[in-house]
Amino acid sequence: MKTRITELFGIEHPIIQGGMHYVGFAELAAAVSNAGGLGIITGLTQKTPELLAKEIARCREMTDKPFGVNLTFLPTVSSPDYPGYIRAIIEGGVKVVETAGNNPQKVLPVLQGAGIKVIHKCTSVRHSLKAEAIGCDAVSVDGFECGGHPGEDDIPNFILLPRAAEELKIPFVASGGMADGRSLVAAMALGAEGMNMGTRFIATKEAPVHENVKQAIVAASELDTRLVMRPLRNTERVLRNAAVDRLLEKEKTLGAELKFEDIIEEVAGVYPKIMLEGTMDAGAWSCGMVAGLIHDVPTCKELIDRIMSEADAIIRQRLGGFLAA
Ligand SMILES: Cc1cc2nc3c(=O)[nH]c(=O)nc-3n(C[C@H](O)[C@H](O)[C@H](O)COP(=O)(O)O)c2cc1C
């Protein structure tokens, strides 16, 4: 399949694996890229720029295909060494950066000056237009369904994607709720030129996370996610568990008085315990409603091949059949 996204990133299939904290290690990024998609290493999961440089080198040993690095600009307690991470990305010869969170304007000249294409993840049309205006090469439009941070506007992709298509000139991918060939064809019908998946890629053989995480996603239905940290305007969609119930209870009790310190136990530093050790109730971890569409743990190649052949059959047979009738 050829779209402006496959052309921009030099990939075979218009499928991107979004950056994911403690999931986006070299193993997953390389597996997605080897399968013809665009794999992405999560920059900030590596504690220092030196460790990110090593992770990039490890990924390059596992694939000769293009892969990217995610740089998330989120409100954190202490600001990471962004210039150092950017140096590691440039010196590592990475050609794609997925930015997310705050406006990436400051880092664009240095990244693009090094020949890097920048795709910014946005949860609204106005942020997408801002990304276009500051010169991003593409955007990833993240609907309300998504795992992680859906923003505060709560617009699902059935509205958000065609709205983005009405306004944007640069290419965009659909993100949030994407799982299979149906998602890809639907996203493209709504104006996207590819799709970005998070949760779906966690439940793959190569995702270097504990088996418990993959099984929790397979077991979950579309009813099992919750929104946390809404009172702090830092909303995150997570899988419901004991820690999330406790967190929501605190939000209810404290109301407008809630501070980050009140919920620190449920949200800070929990990812290694969940993703690496498989302690599923250790805290709140991002997961999309799309869990309801995930029923197996294939390899990345099986998953991507299946998506592409499903998409082909939907376009040529199902949709084409309606026209022929
Ligand atoms: C466990 C997990 C961790 C994530 N961590 C990040 C992150 O560190 N930075 C980021 O930009 N997005 C992060 N995301 C969001 C994904 O990149 C992607 O945008 C989102 O998962 C898409 O929605 P989906 O899960 O419905 O596919 C994370 C998502 C999940 C599920």
Q: Which of 16, 20, 40 maximizes ligand 1 atoms within 8 Å of its Cβ, making it the mutation to test the pocket?
A: 20
CA-proximal residue: ligand 1, atom 4 (nearest): 20
- Each residue's pLDDT tens digit in the chain (325 positions)? 999 999 999 999 999 999 999 999 999 999 999 999 999 999 999 999 999 999 999 999 999 999 999 999 976 667 899 999 999 999 999 999 999 999 999 999 999 999 999 999 999 999 999 999 999 999 999 999 999 999 999 999 999 999 999 999 999 999 999 999 999 999 999 999 999 999 999 999 999 999 999 999 999 999 999 999 999 999 999 999 999 999 999 999 999 999 999 999 999 999 999 999 999 999 999 999 999 999 999 999 999 999 999 999 999 999 999 998 7
- Taking the CA of residue 45 as reference, the ligand 1 atom at the shortest distance is 8
Single out the residue of 167, 33, 143, 166 nearest to residue 96, CA to CA: 33
* Confidence at residue 325, expressed as pLDDT on a 0 to 100 scale: 74
Q: Which tokens belong to 123?
A: 């949860």
Single out the residue of 299, 294, 296, 293 nearest to residue 35, CA to CA: 299
What Å distances lie between residue 251 and 169, 266, 281, CA to CA?
40, 12, 18
Residue 147 CA to ligand 1 center (angstroms) comes to: 5
> How do 138-142 and 96-101 pair as beta strands?
unpaired
- pTM flag (> 0.75): yes
Separation of CA 16 from chain center: 8
Which parts of the chain fold into alpha helices (H)? Answer: 4-9, 26-34, 49-62, 82-91, 108-113, 125-134, 157-167, 181-189, 199-202, 211-219, 242-254, 264-267, 271, 300-313, 320-324
Angle between helices 157-167 and 125-134 (to 10 degrees): 30
The per-residue DSSP string of 189-230 comes to HTT-SSEEESHHHHSSTT--S-HHHHHHHHH--TT-EEEE-G
Phi, psi of 122 (to 5 degrees): -130, 150
**What's the count of helices (H) and strands (E) in the chain, helices before strands?**
15, 10
Q: Which of 44, 69, 146 maximizes ligand 1 atoms within 8 Å of its Cβ, making it the mutation to test the pocket?
A: 146
Residue 322 CA to ligand 1 center (angstroms) comes to: 35
Amino acid occupying residue 149: H
Kindly give, in sequence order, each residue whose CB lies less than 8 Å from that of residue 136, ignoring residues fewer than 6 positions away.
99, 104, 108, 118, 119, 120, 170
CB 65 within 8 A of CB 93: no
User: Can you tell me the distance from the alpha carbon of 130 to that of 321, in angstroms, rounded to the nearest whole number?
Assistant: 40
* Confidence at residue 80, expressed as pLDDT on a 0 to 100 scale: 93
CB 161 within 8 A of CB 143: yes
CB 98 within 8 A of CB 41: no
Kindly give, in sequence order, each residue whose CB lies less than 8 Å from that of residue 210, ignoring residues fewer than 6 positions away.
274, 275, 276, 277, 278
* Confidence at residue 77, expressed as pLDDT on a 0 to 100 scale: 61
CA-proximal residue: ligand 1, atom 13 (nearest): 20
